[in-house]
Amino acid sequence: MNILEVSNVSKKYEAHQALTDINLNLEKGKILGLLGPNGAGKTSLIRIINQITAPDSGTVTFNGEKLERKHVEEIGYLPEERGLYRKMKIGEQAIYLTQLKGFSRADAVKKLRPWFEKFDLNQWWDKKIEDLSKGMAQKVQFITTVVHEPKLLILDEPFSGFDPINAQLVRDEIKVLKEKGISIMLSTHNMASVEEICDEVYLINQSKNVLQGTVHELQNQFFDQSYKVSFDASATDLNSAAFQAHCQKVELNPNNESMKITLNEGVELNQFLGSALASINIKEVKPLIPSMNDIFIKAINDQKR
Amino acid sequence: MNKTLLIIKREYLTRVKKKSFILMTFLGPLLMVGIMVAAVMLSLSESGKQSVLVVDKTPGMLTKDLFKESADYKYFYSDKDLSDEEFKESEYTLMLYLNERFVETDAAAIYYKKLPSFKVMKTLESQMEEILEGYKLRVSGILPSVYARINTNINLVPKDIDKKTEKSYDRELAIVGFAFSFLIYIFIFLYGSQVMRGVIEEKTTRIVEVIVSSVKPFQLMLGKILGVAMVGLTQFLLWVFLSASLFFVAQATILKDKYNPQEMVQEQVSKKMASEMQMELKQQEDTQMVFEILNRINFPVMIGMFIFYFLGGYLLYAALFAAIGAAVDNETDTQQFMLPVTIPLIFGLMVGEFAITNPEGPAAFWFSLFPLTSPIVMMMRVAIGFDAGNVWQLVLSMALLIATFFGVVWMAAKIYRTGILMYGKKVSYKELWKWLRFKN
């Protein structure tokens, strides 16, 4: 069952085409990574899901129903451009934002207190945002996004502004929320986080879908048969014909103990190993799985061509 | 709770709790009453005690001993000139110089060390007139009682052909109306720009996207406008209440003995030969006029219309101010958009000012219908009142204001909705026009 289904959504601002036939599904309880270079249309799509704007064409369904106004209370949104009232006490502010999601004042306080506890913010309840550090303000912001326990959480660059320790705290919290069954849409340029927590990844570029799949699928798709081969340097003859026949690329590392090879198309690793073993003493062979970072760059560059 | 109500509540409470609001609410009336008290005190205290040397060169010193002494006025008489130095060193505050031809010229000079107040001058003038007239009557052999009967003061009474039975106070009424207009003007400016600043604040702190993911941009805009309107009404009512009570306190204490409007009026109108009866009549007439003006104002209608135009005008302009706030990134960028909004407002006040002298002229007519100026101009016409045949003008003006309000809010909401999510872009009028045509 999908919590969110985006089908053929297009959006145009005057001459600027922001989204073209975008499709995207988010399964309940999963984390979806929405990737794309700046200006690809991520924020436009997110604003449509948050009903801040409406698509020109296409449909969005939430939990099986056509997306409607009432659903805003089941969605939590942390925008990339975010902030809080500078002159308002953070406790009051958090209560206000929770109330706007449809809670009574008393319920809002009851829900907020444990979160303030968890993020170590209790003594700041009556302080104003302008008295807080940026990291603390980000924590408050994060709390107000998740406190109403939405079914769907949309996080746009949630790690920006956090130091590595707090970023990890947020990452862990996202995992905890996922365990609670909350579905999450995560838009970020932090590829390490994508690999760590995303179940499925959508890459959009220039307003269009470019790639889609689990991190594993994408890594397989972009795996170019490159391996790191470590060997015993004393018994090596690199000019051996075996290398040349099976590999399109061979790079010897400077220490002479390993090399990076890329197999010719259609060549199995075993074939290569069979002939390589005759000339070198192999200690270890490791596939060079592309990182999400590599995949991102390669996919975008491929599209440019 | 309704989300718009939540927004109104926040806008209201955060503003009302601000130190600057509390300070202004209490300082405002203090300042106002302070200025009034100071003005009254100054105008009264400056007169002080006067000792006047009357240098009378007329044959036989015709004014000798005829000035009426009082606690504040002492008179000394002499037929000899005083040199400048002698006067400067003397105890006299004023030197009244009547030359030989005083009777023929009706002119005299007054020398002073410190410029005498208007009131002092008037007192001396009326005393001199009284003395001179008495002298002339004696010389001509006319009895004062005869003169009182002959002395004629024409009172020209303007009467509206449609309201023949009543005396017309249109001009006075227009001034009362203008006071209301001025309040509306101040209110629109003060609180309209607060709405604008509020929108800019939400934009620059970037909280706006968080909020519009929970409520519609229109709700946020409306909530802000209404919340600020309530702040304005609160401040206005507190000002009226505090000023009134402060003024009563001031009147009862500081100005107890000094400020007596009745007495001041009396003094101003007291004429040399006027009989007691005439004075009383004049006084009665004045009081009667005030009452009649108050009677002529239809207060339920006046207050109703005041609230209508007060809110209508404010809401109209506040929506425009909100749109401006949404279109810019910071307050310094507001200039280019502020001008077209403030011009009709200032223009309305100017038309209102001119219309005091001609409240039924074409300018007052047209601009009391035009929605951008009607909240300011129409109040004057309401104060004067409408004939049954002209009520349509009021109704039309109100209908136009309401219709324009909806049109402007619709437009402002479109600009607002796009603008609040647009950062770091210098916006032109062309751009705004595009935003108006954006779908959702």
Query: Is A97 close to B440, i.e. CB distance below 8 A?
Result: no
In the structure encoding, which two tokens stand for residue B376, read together?
A: 């300011």
CA A48, chain centre distance (Å): 19
Q: How confident is the model at residue A234 (pLDDT cuts 50, 70, 90)?
A: low
Q: Do B210 and A75 touch (CB under 8 A)?
A: no
Q: For B157, left (φ over 0), alpha (ψ -120 to 50), or beta?
A: beta
- Top pLDDT among A149 and B36 is at A149
| Percent above pLDDT 90 for chain B | 15
Q: What integer is the mean pLDDT of A65-69?
A: 90
- Alpha-carbon B29 to chain mean position: 15
Can you tell me the distance from the alpha carbon of B269 to that of B180, in angstroms, rounded to the nearest whole number?
Answer: 30
Q: Please indicate whether, in this complex, the C-beta atoms of B213 and A72 are within 8 angstroms of each other.
A: yes
| Chain A interface disruption, residue of B18, B210, B421, most A CBs within 10 A | B210
Q: Do A75 and B213 touch (CB under 8 A)?
A: yes
Give the tokens for residue A256: 């002479």
Judged against a pLDDT cut of 50, whether residue B224 lies above it is answered with yes
B210/A77 CB distance under 8 A: yes
Give the model's confidence band at B255: pLDDT under 50 very low, under 70 low, under 90 confident, else very high. low
Contact across the interface for A72 and B421, Cβ inside 8 Å: no
Q: What's the pLDDT score for residue B227?
A: 94
Helix (H, G, I), strand (E, B) or coil at A227: strand
* Contact check, Cβ <8 Å, B421/A47: yes
Q: Which is higher by pLDDT, B43 or B227?
A: B227
d(CA B352, CA B359): 8
Query: Are A84 and B207 within 8 A, CB to CB?
Result: yes
Assembly ipTM: 0.79
Structure tokens at A257: 């103990």
Strands (E), A121-225: 152-156, 183-187, 200-205, 208-213
Calpha distance A57→B309 (Å, rounded): 43
pLDDT of residue B273: 42
How high is the pLDDT of residue B318? 93
pLDDT bucket at B106, cuts 50 / 70 / 90 = confident
* Range scoring the smallest mean pLDDT among A12-21, B154-163, B207-216: B154-163
The predicted model gives B259-268 an average pLDDT of 50
Mean per-residue pLDDT for B62-70?
85
Minimal Cβ distance to A83: which of B10, B206, B434: B206
Instruction: Note the pTM of the prediction, 2 decimals.
Output: 0.74
Residue of B165, B123, B395, B76 lying closest to B271 (CA atoms): B123
Cβ within 8 Å, pair B10-A96: yes
Of B293, B256, B216, the closest CA to residue B4 belongs to: B216
pLDDT at B155: 77
Amino acid at B404: T
Distance in angstroms (rounded) separating the CA atoms of residues B330 and A116: 33
Q: Does A267 contact chain B (CB < 8 Å)?
A: no
pLDDT value for B385: 76
| Residue type present at position B23 | L
Instruction: State the DSSP string of A235-295.
Output: G--TT-HHHHHHEEEEEE-TTSSEEEEEEPTT--HHHHHHHHTTTS-EEEEEE-PPPHHHH
> The tokens 């790191």 sit on which residue?
A228
Range from B54-68, B241-255, B285-299, B360-374 carrying the lowest mean pLDDT = B285-299
For residue B73, what is the DSSP state?
Answer: E
* Mean pLDDT to the nearest integer, B75-82: 87
Which is higher by pLDDT, B437 or B345? B345
Q: What's chain A's Rg over C-alpha atoms?
A: 24
A268: tokens are: 């199995």
pLDDT of residue B277: 54
Q: Residue A85 has which token pair? A: 């009232």
Q: pLDDT at residue B105 above 60?
A: yes
Judged by a CB distance cut-off of 8 A, whether residue B425 touches chain A is no
Which residues of chain A are within 8 Å of residue B434 when distances are taken between CB atoms? Answer: 14
Say if residue B271's pLDDT is above 50.
Answer: no
Q: How far is residue B346's CA from residue B359's CA, in Å, rounded to a whole number?
A: 18
Residue A235, pLDDT > 70, answer: no
Residues 152-211 of A with CB under 8 A from B: none
B201 contacts on A by Cβ (under 8 Å): 85-86
CA-CA-CA-CA torsion sign (B23, B28, B34, B35): positive
Q: Which of B5, B207, B431 to mutate to test the interface with A (most CBs of A within 10 A)?
A: B207
Q: Count Cα neighbours of B247 within 13 Å in the Cβ-side half-sphere.
A: 15
Q: In the block, which residue shows the tokens 């209440």? A: B241
d(CA B11, CA B13): 6
Of B207, B212, B423, the CB nearest to A52: B212
d(CA A220, CA A217): 5
* Mean pLDDT of chain A, nearest integer: 88
Contacts of residue B40, defined as CB under 8 A and 6 or more positions apart, other chains included, come to: B255, B258, B259
pLDDT at B275: 47
A75 and B CB contact within 8 Å: yes
Question: CB distance from B440 to chain A under 8 Å?
Answer: yes
- Coil vs helix vs strand at B386: coil
Residue B118 predicted with pLDDT over 50: yes
The pLDDT tens digits of the residues spanning A272-283 come to 888 777 777 888
B94: helix, coil or strand?
A: strand
Residue B43 has pLDDT above 90, yes or no: no
Place of tokens 């009474």: B157
Calculate helix-pair angle for B335-355, B374-384, nearest 10 degrees: 20
CB of A228 closer than 8 Å to CB of A252? no
- Token readout for A203 is 């890459």
pLDDT for A97 equals 93
pLDDT in tens, B381-406: 888 777 777 888 889 999 999 999 99
Which of B10, B209, B214 is facing A72, going by the closest CB pair? B214
A104 contacts B3? CB cut-off 8 A: no
Q: Which residue has the higher pLDDT, B112 or B169?
A: B112
Query: Which residue, among A10, A38, A52, would best test binding to B if mutated, counting the most B CBs under 10 Å from its CB?
Result: A52
Q: Looking at the predicted structure, is the pLDDT value of residue A233 above 70?
A: no
In the predicted model, what is the mean pLDDT of residues B183-188?
87
Of B370, B400, B399, B364, nearest in space to B382 by CA? B364
CB A131 within 8 A of CB A140: no
Q: How far is CA A91 from CA B7, B13, B205, in A?
A: 16, 15, 17
If you average pLDDT over each of A289-303, B295-309, B413-427, which comes out highest? A289-303
Q: Are the beta carbons of B320 and B411 closer than 8 angstroms?
A: no
Our CA-based measurement puts residue A233 at a distance from the nearest CA of chain B, in whole angstroms, of 58
pLDDT band at B272 (very low <50, low <70, confident <90, very high): very low
CA dihedral B268, B271, B274, B280 (to 10 degrees): 0
More confident: B298 or A119: A119
Given a cut of 80, is residue B334 above it in pLDDT?
yes
Under 8 Å CB pairs connecting chains A and B tally to 71
Q: Cβ of A82 under 8 Å from any chain B Cβ?
A: yes
pLDDT of B280 strictly over 70: no
Contact B1 A104 (CB under 8 A): yes
CA atoms within 13 A on the CB side of A254: 0
Mean pLDDT comparison of A11-15, A130-134, B225-229, B232-236, highest-scoring range: B225-229
Verify whether the Cβ–Cβ distance A100 to B3 is below 8 Å.
yes
State the pLDDT confidence band at A46, using cuts at 50, 70 and 90.
very high
pLDDT tens by residue, B291-316: 666 666 777 787 788 888 988 999 99
Q: What is the pLDDT of residue B291?
A: 66
DSSP secondary structure, A83-147, as one string = ---TTSBHHHHHHHHHHHTT--HHHHHHHHHHHHHHTT-GGGTTSBGGGS-HHHHHHHHHHHHHT
Q: Residue B270: is its pLDDT beyond 60?
A: no
Map residue B82 onto helix, strand or coil. coil
Taking a C-beta distance cutoff of 8 angstroms, is the pair A207, A17 a contact?
yes
B216/A51 Cα distance (integer angstroms)? 9
**Exposed, middle or buried: residue A55 (CB in 10 Å: 0-12, 13-18, 19+)?**
buried
Say what the pLDDT of residue B295 is.
67
Chain A residues lying within 8 Å of B1, measured CB to CB: 99, 104
- Residue B260 in this model has a pLDDT that exceeds 60: no
Closest CB to A100 among B215, B217, B434: B215
pLDDT of residue B282: 58
CA distance A260 to chain B (A): 46
Asked if the C-beta of A139 comes within 8 angstroms of chain B's C-beta atoms, the answer is no
CA distances from B235 to B33, B227, B240 (A): 16, 13, 9
Cα–Cα–Cα angle for B199, B435, B196, rounded to 5 degrees = 15
* Chain A neighbors of B423, CB-CB under 8 A: 81
SS (H, E, C) A18-86: EEEEEEEEEECCCEEEEECCCCCCHHHHHHHHCCCCCCCEEEEEECCEECCHHHHHHEEEECCCCCCCC
* CB pair distance less than 8 Å for A88 and B14: yes
Average model confidence (pLDDT) across chain B: 81
**B167 CA to centre of own chain:** 24
Strand partners, A187: A34, A156
- Gap between the Cα atoms of A242 and A264, Å rounded: 12
Contact A82 B214 (CB under 8 A): no
Alpha carbon B264 to its chain centroid, in Å, reads 21
Closest Cβ opposite residue A100 in set B201, B205, B214: B214
Cα–Cα distance, B63 to B128 (Å, whole number):
8
pLDDT band at B254, cuts 50/70/90?
low
What's the length of chain B? Answer: 440
Q: What DSSP designation does B424 have?
A: S
Q: Is the pLDDT of residue B27 over 80?
A: yes
Cα–Cα distance for residue pair B10/B288, rounded to 1 Å: 49
Q: What is the DSSP letter of B50?
A: E
pLDDT at B274: 47
